[in-house]
Amino acid sequence: MLDRLYNIILSRRDQADAANSYVAQLFQKGRKKIAQKVGEEGVETTIAAIRDDRAEIISESADLLFHLSILWADAGITPQDVDNELRKREGISGIAEKQSRKD
């Protein structure tokens, strides 16, 4: 699904009119606005989690992944790039992985 979503985002970025496409509007506004939306959706997901609202966690997580996918596209990052990074971390303790980034 993330690959399909990402491809739709790319097509909207490249072909859609900002007057008719939210995705095209975000690209037109630039990375700062896109990153702001990722942050907003992250906060909304966190609030839903704190409220223990399962349906809202699902909804806000979808919004977060959507906006994160727009950010990836803007930065030239693909879902495969993120998948590759996650695969590199597979089987490594979260604590050890974080310590390796400090070096």
CATH code, domain carrying 63: 1.10.287.1080
Percent of the chain scored above 90 by pLDDT?
A: 85
Q: What is the pLDDT of residues 23-34, one digit of tens each?
A: 999 999 999 999
pTM for the whole structure: 0.87
Which whole-number Å values give the CA distances from 68 to 42, 51, 79, 97, in the listed order? 10, 23, 10, 22
Q: What is the pLDDT of residues 37-84, one digit of tens each?
A: 999 999 999 999 999 999 999 999 999 999 999 999 999 999 999 999
pLDDT at 91: 85
> 30 lies in a domain?
yes
Q: Residue 101 pLDDT > 90, yes or no?
A: no
> 18 lies in a domain?
yes
Do 73 and 10 form a contact (C-beta atoms < 8 A)?
A: yes
Residue 15 belongs to domain spanning: 2-76
Q: How many domains does the chain have?
A: 1
Do 69 and 5 form a contact (C-beta atoms < 8 A)?
A: yes
